[in-house]
Amino acid sequence: MNNLSEKYDNRFSNLGTLTSRLSVNVWHQFMAHKCLQQASSLAFNTLLCLVPLSAVALFLLKTFGAVEDGNSPLIAALRDNFLPRYGAEEIVSELSGFANRNLRGLGVGGFLLFLLVSTMLFMSVEQHFNDIWGSRRRLPVMQAFQKYAVFYTLLSIGPLLIWLFFSTATNWVFAHVFPWMLVYCLFFLMYIAMPNTTVKWNAALLGTFIAGTLFQIARLAFGSYLELVWKNYSDIYGALAMLIILAIWTYTTWVLILLGAEVSNAFQHLGHQGVARGKLGYGSNGYLNSSGVIALFLIVAARFSKGEGACTTEQVALC
53 compared with 272, residue with greater pLDDT: 53
d(CA 86, CA 249): 12
Range 269-293 average pLDDT = 53
Structure confidence by residue, pLDDT tens digits, 81-127: 666 666 566 666 666 665 555 555 556 666 677 777 777 888 888 88
Asked if pLDDT for residue 284 goes beyond 50, the answer is no
pLDDT class of 272 with cuts at 50, 70, 90: very low
The residues facing 276 across adjacent strands are 270
Q: Report how far apart, in Å, the C-alpha atoms of 270 and of each of 181, 309, 313, 316, 318 are.
A: 27, 23, 19, 15, 10
Tell me the pTM: 0.71
Give the whole-number percent of the chain exceeding pLDDT 70.
52
- pLDDT of 144 > 70? The answer is no
